[in-house]
Structure 1
Amino acid sequence: MKSNDVGIIGYGSSAYEKGVSQPTFDYLADAAATCLDSAGICKSEIDGLALSSFMAPPDNAVTLSEYLGLELNWAHVFTAGGAGPVVSILEAVRAVESGAANCVLCVGGDGRTMADFRNMISRFTKAIGNYAAPLNFGGMNGFFAMVQRRHMHEYGTKREQLGRIAVDQRTNALKNPQALFKKPLSLDEYLNARIIADPFRLYDCPMPASGADAILVAPLDKARPGKGVRILSGHQRHNHLPGELSPIQGGWHSFREKLFDEAGLSHADLAFVQAYDDYPIMVSIQLEDLGFCKKGEVGQFLENNTMTFDGSFPLNTGGGQLSCAATAGGGGLIGTVEAVCQLRGEAGERQVANARTGLVSGFGMVSYGHGLSASAMILQKAGS
């Protein structure tokens, strides 16, 4: 390992809550503290800060630095919704490599009530506020229900197949002490839950929660022995397929070959995948677009695999947003936190055997019927 290699040297999370008990900045501070503790780094060493939060504005990364008592050379605020935290980490790596910063804290999360959530969704973009909200569009559930209906119509994808994602992620969550969901979920319960936006039912949708996550980016020679994580490759794509409503292909398709080529790995080399899971259908589209199966064949892929941490295709091994916590600004970061935890061998009962490489993907910035942003990166345990 070269001394000037840059990667991830720490990770952490606040407690997750179904309601809200403190301001957003307090959740972010809690996550930052656990992250620094995992890295063994004092906060005085941090000179870069990347913030992913929907509830923070009009505050931003600079005002958060004031709250945390940090003096910065570099600051960044996400712009791509649930794809943004992965992008923030990639930008943090570039900042350290260029010398713009020495040690960057990437934090994401929100404290929000259901009223906060509804207000945020209705004002998410000008397009939604002006053209969808006045028609009582019912939030993102309605948008992505149409995506699922289209995928089912064009490829014969079945709810029984998609439900395997939700069921297996719940199994993973039961091994995660921080997960909000504590009861097993059966496929029958998934299939027969109350309708939210046909064909979506209750367990297709993540429950809004409060909390935060954090990642620390720095030269890998600052990592505790055996605890560094290298970023082998990473890419982003925005407004893929311009103008198309309810698309069943995302931006991952445009960069998947570069992603794996630059990492020097094949799909079979990965020990796990942490995919942005606002809905099982979007996880499925990511699996197709990233090349784990051909377009339209994800239903059979899900039937052929088990997505639990000890299964044939470990997926969202901490439970993801569907069964651990969906914290808005932290939603795109929870997968990276889980990935680093796995690669450091610190996942306890849900530890994936021989986890040395994994993929994290992000998705977000939904506008008028179109998820605009996709991101992904491939991680490896340093020294592997």
Structure 2
Amino acid sequence: MTSQTDQPMPSANPQAPPVSGSAKVHHSHRLLYTIIAILVLANGVLMWNLGSLRPRPKIAIVTSGEGPYWDTVISGAQEAARIYDVDLTVIKTRTDVQAQTQAIRSLLGKGYKGVGVSPISPIGQAGILAELANDTTLVTFDSDSPVSRRLCFVGTDNYTAGRIAGEQVHRAIPEGGEVAIVIGNLDKENTQRRRQGVIDELLERPFNPDQAMDPPEQMIRGEKYTILPTIVDHSDPAAATALAIEAINQHPNLKCFVGMLSYSTPAILKALQTTGKLGQIKVVGFDVNDQTLEGIEAGHVFATIMQDQFGCGYHTVRLLAETARGDRSGLPTFQRRTLPVEVINRNNVDTIRALVHEEGIMPEPAPPTQPAAGAG
């Protein structure tokens, strides 16, 4: 007699056919393909988040002049574009409000993820700058326009730099005397603030970056220093030379020139050479170029204020590139990325000249103007 324990166990699913070896292989392949697809998708998401699969952001910068000063600024911008992997468009415009406004307008609606502008007329161009800021991220550089709704400003604290230049005038002519300030135009925020800084320092006024601009056409008298009516050359070096010659002839007690822009000192030196006043009238300038450094070495220029031109271009593009990718951690406090300045005189001119040639502070001229996408 057979016990119950000897009976075979019934199948859980007597209707199910036995699983063949080929079906097992097919199931394994499906599982493998699913795993691979998940890994590919996860890797794609990771690469997208890291920016590897995203299109390179289009960035543009618009200068406010075409002179050699901008070559170093552009070199800094190009270096940042390389490091932060963006497509950079460089537009060098002449120092003309209408021409620059047209260049800015050509960028609207072209898919730029950020634009840097050095405004020529902060008030006169407020409308087009606001329109640009509404279309993309706007950063101002070298010269500011706080009313433009820009993300931030990158450049020199120009009022402070002006006061530093005023300190150099004090040292150049401690006995006092007449001083002539040479400026490109009266609209740009950077040279407005530099000029005011020089005046406030010479008149020993309290430090006030918001000090109202003294009328340029007036003679301003202090206890030791008299500031002559401001020489406005409209960003024309030849005009700067001619107007400096005129000032020398009209003011025999003129003791010192202060040039506000990179071309100002070479233009003033030409005027002094023409009138036989080299070494007799002191010169304090802004920026570094071969003629200015040679003037310092020869004793014809007392000092110049060197700005960080390379850093100006570099940090403008860096901030635009980071913002284009959603990273705002590097934005400066109070919407200003202030760059340092340094006084160059006979004590350190050799060091600076060596630095110029070693690190390329004054590089070869930048490539020709790159047109904006879609611009005619």
TM-score computed with the length of structure 1 as normaliser: 0.29
Normalised TM-score (structure 2): 0.30
Structure with greater Cα Rg: 2
Structure scoring higher RCO (CA < 8 A, sep ≥ 6) equals 1
